[in-house]
Structure 1
Amino acid sequence: MKSTITKKPKSSVELSVTVLASEMAEFFNQALKEVQKDFALEGFRKGNVPEDLILKNTGRQYIEAQSLDIAVQESYVTALKEHKLNPVAQPKIDIKKFKVVGVGHIQPVETRGVASVLDDQPALEYTAQLDVFPEIEIHDYKNVKIKKDPKALEVTQSEIEKVFDHLRKQRAKLETIDRPLKIGDWAEINFEGSLEGVARDDMKSNNYPIILGESQMIPGFEEQLIGLKKGDTKKFPIIFSKDYHQENFRKKRAEFEVTIIDTKERIIPEIDDKFIKDLGHDKLEDLSVAIKDSLKQEKETVAHTKLENDILDEILKRTRIDLPESLVEQEVDRMLVESKDRLAKVNFDWQRYLDQIKKTEEDLKKEMRNAAEKNIKVGLILGKIATEEGIDPTAKDGAHKVMEKLVEYARN
């Protein structure tokens, strides 16, 4: 067997393989033995049918087809080892030549493969197009320096007061009212809407709870409910903003019809001794310190995550990886399945989602490519650095240990 490789862009390789007639004869015999194991013929025990009768009953072409499969599989693996190739996906095989002497008739057992005078002649030639594990070149990852924000961990009095306000609203009590709604009130509503005159299922809901002024709905919606009372119904238009997060809604006109099912006033407690004790503290100062410490921990977590992301972004700039197309496609497919699973968990139909955003799966795949490429590159980078740092890249905490090392380098 002979094989050569030709390197191509995007970590792709063309493997050219030639199998000689003498080798093909061995694969032919191997295929015949495999068929013989399960071959049944009247007058013989299973597995004991003579080979010439098997050839007569199956036809030589059938055995040759089986031998071709075996020859390609075994020669391909041998060629991979010879050239130290690490494929990342199944190859595309293209048979250029396959010819065995004696096709169409039965030869004696000793010559049934290929005539001996042609032993050194090519009997099988094929190419295999395959994507291989890419080469990774990282420049000076130990010397990555990230500029720190000196105010990133500061906790302001305004932030503490926002937490107090949130805690008060969490403990608010609801009391039924018989007056028009105002900002801060709670309401239960039924609503349905249309976009450019077309009714949409994703713009309707029943028994939907809302607090006026909390910006739960699209801008302008909650303000339309001010002054309404329980039992009232109101129709009103809203124009979506030009920067609305769903592109297919931007600058379009919507019509809503809302019915008020119930109305209540929120009674928000004051910060008194009972409020403080309910939160597990004796003094206001102690509660303030606890809130400040909690906010600082949150900021430290956010800052650490940002530091890790900044380090990886900088290392990505210093890295050369020629990603194989098949790896990118696999990651895009994984991300697509993940998106479908998320929607399935909330019982949202995938096709309905595509219809709403007015995109196809192919559109989403194109949008996912950049993120997919980054995911793969980060994974490959962490794996290579792990190896260089003596960390097992396959360990459950391997990536975590690598990031700890990179953060350590960045801080020194």
Structure 2
Amino acid sequence: MQVTETLNDGLKRGYAITLTADELDAKVTEKLTEAQPDVEMKGFRKGKVPLALLRKQFGQRILGESMQEAIDGAMNQHFEDTGDRPAMQPEVKMTNEDWSEGDDVHVEMSYEKLPDVPEVDLTELSVEKPVAKASEADVDDALKSLAETATDFEDREDGAAAENDDQVVIDFVGKVDGEPFEGGAAEDYPLTLGSNSFIPGFEEQLVGVKAGDEKTVEVKFPEEYGAENLAGKDATFDVTVKNVKKPVAAEINDELATKFGAEDLEALKGQIRERLEAEYQGAARQVVKRRLLDALDEKVQFDLPPSLVEAEAKQIAHQLYHEDHPDDHGHDHGEIEPTEEHNKLAERRVRLGLLLAEIGNKHEVQVTDSEMTQAIMNQARQYPGQERQFFDFVRQNQQMQQQMRAPIFEDKVVDVILEKAEVSETEVGKEDLQKLLDDLDEV
């Protein structure tokens, strides 16, 4: 088999592969001879069917298999000999389309090779890491927010009218066409006005009621309402207001702490401080990771496969289009042409992706089965009641697995780099850390 180079331009490669008719015939004969001992055919003992008859019976099928195997073998041998790694699936096409049995087979193969990534001395890298501690003020602010979620209600003065955010305690009976319907009645029901927990329009009509009032509320069930017998129907609710209560923020004390599972207020503060500092560490991680990637991007330059950059730019353009058009859920919006900004971002992502992959391979970074399982389980929680189906889907989908494995691999490589680089720490406040995060989003 003859392999001749036809293109060598940057990372682009092209080769002409010729498989002679004699080589192909020898491959067919080899496969038929190998299968002959197991072939049974009427009129012949097992293993005694003549090759000529086997060729007549199975030759065309074996010919196609042999041609494919020979070309695949030539390609694999080529990549082994040259050390080239194609950036994407090589394009392979047969050039003599009028081929017939007995002719040589002529094939063209073209691809873009992955570049040789220069080695980086990680110890020469330096990066500054922000460090934020949870101050007493931070803990107090978080405590106040927590207390707001534990709001209590206390009776308003006699004759006071209900306001938005108040709680009204009501009895009600719902009717459609003048007849009560199943599930449409309750007694002593505590309803917070403005919570939007009832049918649209219901709560607004109770603003201004007083204890002892009786009111008929008129509403229309949404067209997409869960109960088909009520969907889209006009309804009335006979409401009796038994009490009107105003919201009162919970006091910050030991009693509040026990509501959130802590032994006392100091224990709750300790839990809050740990949670805040974990959040700060996560934010600081994002900042130092970006700074590290910026340093690598400035330090290393090499040729990039145009096909990878183009594919990445198109993906970026598509993603940003949907972020700018959240109501467009389909993919029939036509071709989205990447901008120069998209192309620059794509070049950065491809360059850093290849560099991190090279560093990870050199340091034998692996994503373990347990790490993958944990990642799948974490994402599966976004689909309550369908966790098992999501888990099975990912296990059967190699592309999905790769999408989930990539960020884990990247983070582990970043850890390797940070261990070897010079990392200096700078203490910052919560506001400064937030500004650093906001600046990342603007880049």
TM-score (norm 2): 0.54
Residue 406 (structure 1) aligns with: 417
Structure 1 residue 43 displacement after superposition: 0.6
**Contact 1:99–1:124 at 8 Å: present in 2 too?**
no
The Cα offsets for residues 29-84 of structure 1, whole Å up to 9 and x where unpaired, read as 234436756765421245532122233445x6555444322321222222222222
Is the contact between residue 193 and residue 207 of structure 2 (CA under 8 Å) also seen in structure 1? no
User: Which residue in 1 is equivalent to 2:23?
Assistant: 23
Instruction: Give the aligned partner of residue 51 of structure 2.
Output: 51
CA contact (8 A) 2:92 2:109 kept: yes
Asked if 1:95 is matched to 2:94, the reply is yes
Tell me which of 360, 364, 367 is aligned to 1:386. Answer: 360
How far apart, in 2, do the equivalents of 1:81 and 1:404 lie? 32
Select the residue among 289, 299, 312 that pairs with 2:293. Answer: 312
**Alignment RMSD:** 5.2
Match of 2:107 among 112, 126, 138: 126
Which amino acid letter does the alignment assign opposite residue 67 of structure 1?
A: S
Q: In 2, are the aligned partners of 1:138 and 1:315 still within 8 Å (CA)?
A: no
Identity of aligned residues (%): 18
Give SS of 1:411's match: strand
Q: Which amino acid aligns with 2:285?
A: H
AA aligned to 2:91 is: K
Structure 1's 24 and 69: CA in aligned 2 closer, same or farther, altered over 3 A? same
Tell me, in whole angstroms, the C-alpha distance in 1 between the residues paired with 2:410 and 2:91.
Answer: 33
Cα 1:35/1:325, change in 2 over 3 Å: farther
Deviates more, 1:157-166 or 1:289-298: 289-298
CA contact (8 A) 2:304 2:347 kept: no
Which residue does 1:249 correspond to in 2? none
Unaligned runs of 5+ in 2: 171-190, 210-214, 221-235, 320-324, 372-408, 425-443
1:83 aligns with 2:82: yes
CA distance in 1, matches of 2:154, 2:216: 17
Change (3 A) 1:292 1:231: farther
Count residues in correspondence.
321
Q: Structure 1 residues 37, 404: closer, same or farther in 2, change over 3 A?
A: same
Aligned to 1:357: 328
Find the aligned partners of 1:31 and 1:278 in 2 and give their Cα distance. 76
- The answer (yes or no) to whether the contact 1:185–1:266 under 8 Å persists in 2 is yes
Quote the residue 2:72 is aligned against. 73
Amino acid at match of 1:360: H
Tell me the amino acid that sits aligned with residue 406 of structure 1. I
1:136 match: secondary structure? coil
Would you say 1:303 and 2:284 are equivalent positions?
yes
Q: Which moved more, 1:319-328 or 1:400-409?
A: 319-328
Alignment-derived partner of residue 33 in structure 1: 33
Could you say if the C-alpha distance between residues 53 and 292 of structure 1 is closer, same or farther in structure 2, counting changes exceeding 3 Å?
Answer: closer
Distance in 1 between residues matched to 2:25 and 2:107, nearest whole Å: 17
Q: Report the equivalent of 1:14.
A: 14
